[in-house]
Amino acid sequence: MYDKELQGIISILKDLVHIPSPSGYTGEAIAYIRRFLEDVGIQTQLLNKGALLATIDGKNNDKQRMLTAHVDTLGAIVKDIKENGRLAIDKIGGYAFHSIEGEYCLIHKSDKSTVSGTIVMHQSSVHVYKDADTAKRNEENIEVRIDAAVHDEKDTEALGIAVGDFISFAPRFEQTPSGFIKSRHLDDKASVALLLQLMKQLAGSKIKLPYTTHFLISNNEEIGFGGNAGIPEKVIEYVAVDMGAIGDGQQTDEFTVSICAKDGSGPYHYGLRTHLVSLCKQESIPYKLDIYPYYSSDASAAIKAGHDLVHGLIGPGIEGSHSMERTHQSSLEATYRLLCAYTYSEMNH
């Protein structure tokens, strides 16, 4: 039933993960999303912080909803040019250094051109460094090996590389015959793809939504303040569409939609959470309830900013979050089905 929509979601996702967009450098990704929406007849508004807002009118304009996903990703920034011409980096977003060791990357220069490189340990060679396997993976030892003939700081500066240049990580997108999707940046470009496909479907539908619904594509979530502004005053319900994290002690898996009961910011709205669960039961949508102790979302950022909202969090299950990520198309489908059911449902408060 959802085969066409699922293929659309995966096609959008593949496009998005190949557009570099670490937090603070999201202009190209936002431009892609804006073109996509305007091509299907949805007007957009670019907000001051660079996020994108779109609206689909509903029957009730006094009580409104908002759905959000973030297009910004993990990345890095040039912290220093070392004496050997390699780059010291500072992290953008919360990840462990070991999760990017060996990754191909692009350095984005101020003139908009790029230079490729690889993120490596300074003590990479086991033939040279006795502590190659035990040296700490940290900002002192991790560096970018530039794909250019550089021998010192001046050589690197001559390439036009400077402190403050953004660094993006290669996505390495792959869709397997067994239905898995492997890539960096599934957090949260998988959910952006879900919302874009949903908006495309709604724009072509003759059935009007019960409530005017806003869609916010935020661009600063990985650094903690995405989704906390640009919220129209009549919005009552705010649902962040992000990822479900998988690991020991978690219920979330790669085959269902995850509904978050609580994260590091505290519990999500109980009434909205139970409504989402009831929709899954009514529509036979596979789901898992979960708690994420080291997590926050666009919705929690909005609550912390002081907005008086009913807030919730759902998303596909993502294995290896903030590392080499993976999900399954059945999780994307389950999340999409819940989004469809939710947008056409009546508020229960």
Domain boundaries, the chain: 3-73+185-343, 75-169
- Mean pLDDT over the full length of the chain: 97
**According to CATH, what is the number of the domain 3-73+185-343?**
3.40.630.10
Question: Which positions ≥6 away from 309 have C-beta within 8 Å?
Answer: 231, 235, 236, 237, 238, 299, 302, 303
User: How high is the pLDDT of residue 349?
Assistant: 72
Determine if residue 346 is labeled as part of a ligand binding site: no
The verdict on whether 221 is a catalytic residue reads yes
Q: Give the angle 237-276-283 at the CA atoms, nearest 5°.
A: 135
CA dihedral 125, 127, 133, 139 (to 10 degrees): -30
> Tens of pLDDT along 64-88?
999 999 999 999 999 999 999 999 9
CA 10 → CA 178, 191, 323, 336, 342, distances in Å?
Answer: 14, 11, 20, 12, 21
The pLDDT, as a whole number, for residue 2 is: 85
146 CB-contact burial (10 Å; exposed 0-12 / middle 13-18 / buried 19+): buried
Q: What is the pLDDT of residues 98-124, one digit of tens each?
A: 999 999 999 999 999 999 999 999 999
Distance, in Å, from the CA atom of 334 to the CA atom of 119, rounded to the nearest integer, reads 36
Whether 322 has a binding-site annotation, put simply, is yes
pTM higher than 0.85 for the full model?
A: yes
Assigned fold of 75-169: Elongation Factor Tu (Ef-tu); domain 3 (2.40.30)
298 is in an annotated binding site: no
Q: Note the pLDDT of residue 180.
A: 98
21-49 tens-digit pLDDT: 999 999 999 999 999 999 999 999 999 99
Q: Which of 5, 103, 221, 325 is catalytic?
A: 221
Q: How far apart are CA 288 and CA 230, in angstroms?
A: 30
The pLDDT value recorded for residue 1 is 58
**Is 122 annotated to bind ligand?**
no
Q: For the residues 119-138, what does the mean pLDDT come to?
A: 95
Asked if domains 3-73+185-343 and 75-169 share a fold, the reply is no
Any binding-site annotation on 242?
Answer: yes
Q: At what angle do helices 27-39 and 186-203 cross, to 10 degrees?
A: 20
Tokens found for residue 146: 């530039």
Above pLDDT 90, what percent of the chain?
99
